[in-house]
Amino acid sequence: MSGRVTPELRAWIGRTVTYEAPEELGRSALRYFALALGDDNPMYHDDAIAGQSVHGGVIAPPTFVCETNQIFQRPADENGYIGHHWDLPLPSTRFIRGGNAYEFHQPVRADDRVAVTWTLVDIYERDTRSCGQLVFVVSEARYRNQRGELLATNRETNIYSP
């Protein structure tokens, strides 16, 4: 294994951080998310219809809980970003998303107050013909509500190109 995955970088594996939302998600946030996806599913806004479902009421769109920028309570950086990131010692690289593996344990409700725990699971390198040497960073997020119930897990792979 060469160059970019240094011992200093590998030492980040296993790091963990938890962020707790200062307030409940709120119903309008669910409707805003659905609207942004062109999604008029009544489960996300219509009490009368959602009340007839096994869920008993309005729920959040499944992946909504995995978007947690609003939790962090940080000012925007110079590019406008306010969310979680690992401050990895990987200079002059470009970051792209490689994919997500979600597991949803129970529907998320508007009155859930979410806490997310991120763990850096793995860092490895791959040589590719088209993009050169890529560094893959795998993180796992676990989302819980105010009662400590596990709502979802999200295993996310991000790719750092040279």
Partner 1 sequence: MTKTTARRKYFEDVTVGEDLPPIDVDVSLTALVMYAGATWDFHRYHYDTAFVTKLDMPAPFMDGQMLGALMARQLMTWGGIDCFVRRLDYRQRAMVYAGDTIAIRGKVIGTAIENGRPLALCTVSVTGPEDRVISRDATAAVELTRKSA
Q: Which residues bind partner 1 (CB under 8 A)?
A: 29, 32-33, 35-43, 45-46, 49-50, 52-55, 61-64, 66-67, 69-70, 76, 79-83, 94, 96-104, 107, 157
Toward partner 1, which CB reaches closer, 4 or 31? 31
What is the DSSP-derived secondary structure letter of residue 119?
A: E
The CA–CA distances, whole Å, from 137 to 14, 35, 95 equal: 12, 31, 10
Between 6 and 69, CB nearer to partner 1: 69
Take residue 98 and report the two structure tokens written for it.
Answer: 């490689």
- Between 8 and 48, whose beta carbon lies closer to partner 1? 48
List Cα–Cα distances, 135 to 30, 47, 52, in angstroms: 34, 46, 48
Least gap, CB of 113 to partner 1 (angstroms)? 16
CA 4 to chain centre: 25
**Residue 108 CB, nearest approach to partner 1 (Å):** 11
